[in-house]
Amino acid sequence: LMQLSIPLNFIGFVYREIKQGLADIEEMFLLLEVEPEVKNRANAPLLDVSGANIRFEDVHFAYDPNREILKGISFEVPAAATVAIVGPSGAGKSTISRLLFRFYDVTSGRITIDGQDIRAVEQESLRSAIGMVPQDTVLFNDTIGYNIRYGRWEASDDEVREAAGMAQVDHFIEQLPEGYDTPVGERGLKLSGGEKQRVAIARTILKAPPILIFDEATSALDTATEQEIQQALDLVSRDRTTLIIAHRLSTVVNADRIIVLQDGRIAEQGTHGELMLRGGLYARMWDRQREADAAAEQLRRTREEE
């Protein structure tokens, strides 16, 4: 029994680590076949997606019963709209995306998609309706083409190339020695954070889910990469209900609505223009980011001159 329990503990550990990183959950369950914390109700019906309207209704959540992370969150992402969640580090932004994907169940309140409580529907149908572009995408030790086709196995080579084009990663792939057949991952070519994120976007384009969660990378990207990711995101989020978890602010300017989270509560919400006029937390975060960007730009110029 001892011999068995150690690997099981280890798998539990790996599972929690991966789960925290919002890695590809479907693959993870397939690989590890671990008992998920969240279970299907008996005879749970499939999620029936019409417009993909998302609602959080007075959602409370705690990882640890002594420390509430979300303290009564209510908001709506109307069908095909883009809503961005911003706020200081630790405010609970990524937690919102984990709850929507049902990694965890809410402590109280509810989350619905087209009026169906996500706890009442079959999990697999919920997860197949959501395309998740995580902060840090784990690539398989296989070719870059395989990593994109993972979004939909039946996709033709042309469809894979088209998805790569929409995700703005095609030029990068075409200049690789073996193009789409180039091995990537731990044992192959190492991709930068921005490149991996675009591979994840290409995958999601092939999967074509009605709901998209984009968890922006925390690390700073150079301006050109950021613009490419922004363009890719604009393309995939069109006609799709999109939730952006934004760790920087540049991504959110064009969102239909921005929700500013502070200490587990919604401090303010509105469009970029409305929030700037308001002169509250968002406007202060924006000013601070602009100063930080200007300082980084200055540093880069000084380095170039040296």
Query: Residue numbers of the site for ligand ATP (CB under 6 A)?
Result: 20, 63-64, 69, 87, 89-95, 218, 247
Min dist. Cβ of residue 110 to ligand ATP (A): 19
Q: Among the residues of the chain, which ranges form H helices?
A: 2-20, 25-32, 93-100, 123-128, 144-149, 157-166, 170-174, 193-207, 223-237, 272-278, 281-305
- Radius of gyration of the chain, Cα coordinates, nearest whole angstrom: 20
> What secondary structure letter does DSSP report for 190?
P
Cα 77 to Cα 237: distance, rounded to the nearest angstrom: 13
The Cα 92–Cα 86 span in angstroms is 9
CB 189 within 8 A of CB 250: no
The CB-of-59 to ligand ATP minimum distance in angstroms stands at: 13
Comparing CB distances to ligand ATP, the nearer of 170 and 216 is 216
Burial class (CB in 10 A: 0-12, 13-18, 19+), 209: buried
The residue (of 96 and 205) whose beta carbon lies closer to ligand ATP is 96
The minimum distance between CB 263 and ligand ATP, in angstroms, equals 10
Report the C-alpha dihedral over residues 288, 294, 295, 296, rounded to 10 degrees: 110
Measured from the CB atom, is 92 or 145 closer to ligand ATP? Answer: 92
- Please report how close the Cβ of residue 232 comes to ligand ATP at its closest, in angstroms: 21
Q: What is the largest CA-CA distance in the chain?
A: 68
Nearer to ligand ATP, 127 or 248 (CB): 248
CB of 292 to ligand ATP, least distance (A): 15
Q: CA–CA separation, 115 vs 161, rounded Å?
A: 36
Nearer residue to ligand ATP within complex by CB, 56 or 150: 56
Q: Choose between 13 and 63: whose C-beta lies nearer to ligand ATP.
A: 63
Instruction: In angstroms, give the least distance from the CB of 107 to ligand ATP.
Output: 13
